[in-house]
Structures are given as structure tokens and as C-alpha cells.
Amino acid sequence: MSALVATTPTRAGVAATGAAVASSDTVDKSILGSRGALLHIINGNASPDAMTISDASTTVTGAAATALAPSVTNATTKVFKLLPRMADATTGLITITHSVTTTVTYLLFPIS
């Protein structure tokens, strides 16, 4: 399991280079602040990346939310919004799993 590292944008701009994903990554609630973060997945692999993004939040009726199960098609990118309420109350983590990792990278931007 690998903890994802955030890149914090500035008004003047900041260099942002994608970092490698692991088969199981985590995002700590401390990175999410009160507004969340944007997770940009860049799939340079020849195969789609079937992902799972955990969601420990509850619906308005109190039911447990369903984990997200998106796919990032090969040679494409997708951006996902991660919210603080998605983090597990006990661990403080959102867990992201990937079906492929070779040439799949990420950028994580806190929303301020």
C-alpha cells in the first residue's frame, strides 16, 4: 500500500509530474481538508485500469455508500473528486486499487 502525495497548486504555478501508482494506494483525510481533492489518473498502459475507490460515507437515508468502480481506458486520463466524507472514520483513509500499474501515474491536487 502506498500513500499518495499531493501537489499543492500556487498562484504562480507549480511543476507537476505524475507519480507511479501501486496496486493499492491511499489518500489521507489530512490532504483532503474541508473541500476534498482532485485525483488525476493517467493511463499510459495498453490495457484499461479497472479501479476501485473506497467510500465510507453514507447516503441521506443513512445507508452505506457504494465504492466507486471506474475504469480508465488505456491511453486516456480521468479526474476524480475525492471528498473528506469518503475517508474511513477509523483509519482516515480513502483506498484506491488499480488493475494495472505499469505506466499508470497520478497527480493529486487538494482543493483549497
Q: What is the pLDDT of residues 63-111, one digit of tens each?
A: 999 999 999 999 999 999 999 999 999 999 999 999 999 999 999 999 9
Give the C-alpha separation, 12 to 103, whole Å: 29
pLDDT, residue 61, reads 87
Sorted by where each begins, the domain ranges of the chain are: 2-110
Higher pLDDT, 22 or 112: 22
Q: What is the pLDDT of residues 40-57, one digit of tens each?
A: 999 999 999 999 999 999
Sheet holding 2-3, edge to edge: 2-3, 24-28, 93-98, 49-53, 71-72
| Class at the top of the CATH hierarchy for domain 2-110 | mainly beta
Give the global pTM. 0.94
- Closest to 53 in 3D by CA, of 80, 28, 76: 80
Q: Give burial (CB, 10 Å; 0-12/13-18/19+) of 82.
A: buried
- Closest to 38 in 3D by CA, of 7, 17, 14: 7
